[in-house]
Structure 1
Amino acid sequence: MDKIDVSVVVPVYNVEKYLKDCLDSLERQTLKNIEVIMVNDGSTDGSRNIAEEYACRNDNFLLIDRLNGGLSAARNTGMSFAKGKYIYFLDSDDYLVDNALELLYKKSENDNLDVLLFTSYTFHDDSPELIMEKHVKYRGEYTHVYSGLQALQKFIDNNDVCISCCWIFSRLGVIRENKLKFYEGIIHEDHLFQWQILSLSKRVAVLNSPLYCRRICPGSITSAKSDWIKKIYAVRCTIVAGDMFVMQNPEIIGKTTCWFMRFWANFFFMDWLMLDEYTRNRYDLKIFYIEVADVLTKYGFGNNIRLWLFYKHPKIFGLLRRIKRFVKVLEL
């Protein structure tokens, strides 16, 4: 294929039950100048055999094998092989509507976009019915092309901050020029990546249409029982890496960037409260707390008195929480 419009990266790990639905949707895409990069991340079931079938019958489907390293590592591997003008990341237990890539490509070309955001249907594993849920639809109106920082601020203003990287269609050049990668070894890895690419993008638009079909199934990363230590580690990594990213790109500093730092610090705070006292006193978790507190001090606490007490005066915060257990007066 001389010209590749879109590279689609599909991380594959133990999804033999769902993989055909995903890859069938890519075979059906009305945009034909695409490449599909399937990254087998050390699957131990029949997923690799299924992916190999599609690679054998489609010249534009490429299968890459790697040792298991997690979702971020698989995406990074696929990204390194990408040759398209645009890149898209599709989870292997979900799928796209048939004209999704064509719509995304044409709008991105017409408006000369760096990033195009869109929305999703959801469906349950035991039912093919597609559901348009409120939490995966933008509340605000986005009718113009914005800078990435303008778009992020509008998302904040409209309470539209939850975005999956599977709902982001990006120009590959923006990623390569800025050496962006997914943070490996953590959960919720796309939170940092999407903020980074949006912060640096010059032209961003929103197509408030459901083109992605997200499967709700038992045992997925997002629906599994919470592991609070993993969550705390992930948020700590996001905050520390985010601070490093700001130092490398000082032009993005402003109220929007400070808001996101406080946003993540609030997640760390809420996850911390889920731990028992013994676990909180673990040495590594205490170090995480100190690192987050040090970073957040640089970006301010806004008017959030809870965060200010939690990070700046933890003993007072702990005392007030103990008082609250007996006297329900303070709203902390």
Structure 2
Amino acid sequence: MINVDIDLSIIIPTYNNIELLKKCLDSIFKQNLNSIEIIIINDGSIDGTDQYFSNNITTNHNIKYYKQQNKGVSSARNLGLDNANGEYVLFVDADDLLYDEKLSSYVAYAKSNKADVVISDYLVKFYDKEFQVRPERINIPSLLIENSIQGKLHSALWNKLIKRSFIEENRFDIKLKYMEDQLFWVYLLLNEPVIKYFDGFVYIYNQFSKSGCQLISYNSVVESNKAYNRIIEVLADTTDIYSLKIFTNRCLITTLLYSDYSIANLCFNKKYIDSKIEKRILNKVLILSYLNDKEYITYVVKCFFLFSSKIKFLVKNFLKGDCK
């Protein structure tokens, strides 16, 4: 094989998502970056993914295709990292999209600024609504850790271009089923990367195509708590007590909302919310109010009850009172 320098490795785990993956790949093929490799990891799909790539892999030499038994997204991403050759790495979800012709300038910006991590703006699609997100420009890793654990910065990796040599031997924790991104991100920040921000929208996050968001189960709550505890353990010696307390509280907030997964499933699936459901939601907010974190409660409501003006109105009125 001819040794060609590769600017970017895009790592895409996929599990039973072939139709959305095709759209994702189409958005990548529209990019104006030639020195690229697209690493697809089929994590045990049974929806025709393997057959599709068996028939089409020879038509695009930029694609590297791997398959494994279903082991989860962490294992799939680790396999992608083990086989990546690009100077930079971008993790992409199979059901998301990239803006047209942005990768070339994104990578060029990273290289010209000698950045270890470049964070971009992104668009969130949420059912029939969408909103733009422009992260606060903070370049100090310790402050980014605090913002991440306080919920002020999204810890997902898909809007972060990462220098592969900086990742070194870091890998995703295969024991975690949820929030593996956040733990990986914390580890990266503890190594004090050179961080830059790209002024432009690169990534389109389809929030409610996520199976994990659509079905909230008791198991997902347990797994999330496992991740929370792991992050607290990692940060115990490096982060101030106040930030860890806020993080712990926000873990509780998210868990409390998710724990009543019948509420979450009703809301996520846009079904009718009757007065009984409204009372249960408000009871949750009542419990949350004792944690004295109105800012995060409002954020959660905005994210998870965005389509329901009635719920937003009820919670907004409830939050007018002082939290104890």
Above 0.5 in TM-score?
yes
Q: Is the 8 Å Cα contact of residues 70 and 184 (structure 1) preserved in structure 2?
A: no
Q: Aligned to 1:18, what secondary structure does the other structure show?
A: helix
2-side partners of 1:151 and 1:241: how far apart? 14
* TM-score computed with the length of structure 1 as normaliser: 0.69
> For the Cα contact (< 8 Å) 1:76–1:182, is it kept in 2?
no
Q: How far has the Cα of 1:67 moved from its partner?
A: 0.4
Partner of 1:214: 205
**Structure 2 equivalent of residue 148 of structure 1:** 141
1:240 matches 2:240: no
Alignment partner of 1:160 is 2:155:
no
Corresponding residue number in structure 1 for 2:244:
261
Q: What are the residue-to-residue correspondences of 1:61-72 with 2, within 5 Å?
A: 61-72=63-74
CA contact (8 A) 1:11 1:91 kept: yes
Q: Residue 60 of structure 2 aligns to which amino acid in structure 1?
A: N
Do 1:9 and 1:36's aligned partners in 2 also have CA atoms closer than 8 Å? yes
Deviations 1:213-253 (Å, cap 9, x if unpaired)? 1224456212x13224422432333422552x447xx6xx1
Indicate how the Cα distance of structure 1 residues 155 and 234 shifts in structure 2: closer, same or farther if over 3 A, else same. Answer: closer
Unpaired runs of 5+ residues, structure 1, are: 277-303, 308-328
1:51 and 1:148 mapped to 2: Cα distance?
A: 40
Match of 1:94 among 93, 96, 102: 96
- 2:166 match: 174
Q: Distance in 2 between matches of 1:95 and 1:107?
A: 20
Deviation, structure 1 residue 186:
1.4
Identity of aligned residues (%): 22
Give the structure 2 partner of residue 109 of structure 1: 111
Distance 1:263 1:35, change over 3 A: farther
Contact preservation (8 Å) 1:232, 1:271: no
1:48: Cα distance to partner?
Answer: 2.3
| CA deviation after TM superposition for structure 1 residue 107, in Å | 1.1
**Match of residue 314 from structure 1:** none
What is the distance in 2 between the residues matched to 1:26 and 1:225? 28
Counterpart-to-counterpart distance in 2, 1:266 and 1:154: 14
What CA distance in whole angstroms lies between the structure 2 residues aligned with 1:151 and 1:6? 24
Partner secondary structure for residue 21 of structure 1: helix
Encode CA deviations 1:167-203: one digit per residue, 9 max, x unaligned: 11101111115x2424444123212112221232331
Aligned residue in 1 for 2:87: 85
- Per the alignment, residue 294 of structure 1 pairs with none
SS of equivalent residue, structure 2 residue 120:
strand
- Whether contact under 8 Å (1:122, 1:216) holds in the other structure is yes
CA 1:81–1:15: 2 relative to 1, 3 Å? same
Aligned: 1:227 with 2:224: no
- Secondary structure of 1:8's counterpart equals strand
Q: Aligned pair 1:191/2:149, yes or no?
A: no
Deviation at 1:208, TM superposition (A): 4.0
Retained in 2: the 8 A contact 1:85–1:173? yes
Alignment deviations for residues 126-145 of structure 1 (CA, whole Å, 9 cap, x no partner) = x7xxx7515x332x3x2x8x
Q: CA deviation at 1:84?
A: 1.0
- The one-letter amino acid paired with 1:226 is I
Cα displacement string for residues 122-162 of structure 1 (whole angstroms, at most 9, x for unaligned residues): 3467x7xxx7515x332x3x2x8x342244456789x7322
Shift in alpha-carbon separation, 1:272–1:64, aligned structure 2, 3 A: closer
**Normalising by the residue count of structure 2, what TM-score does the alignment of the two structures yield?**
0.71
SS in 2 for 1:166: coil
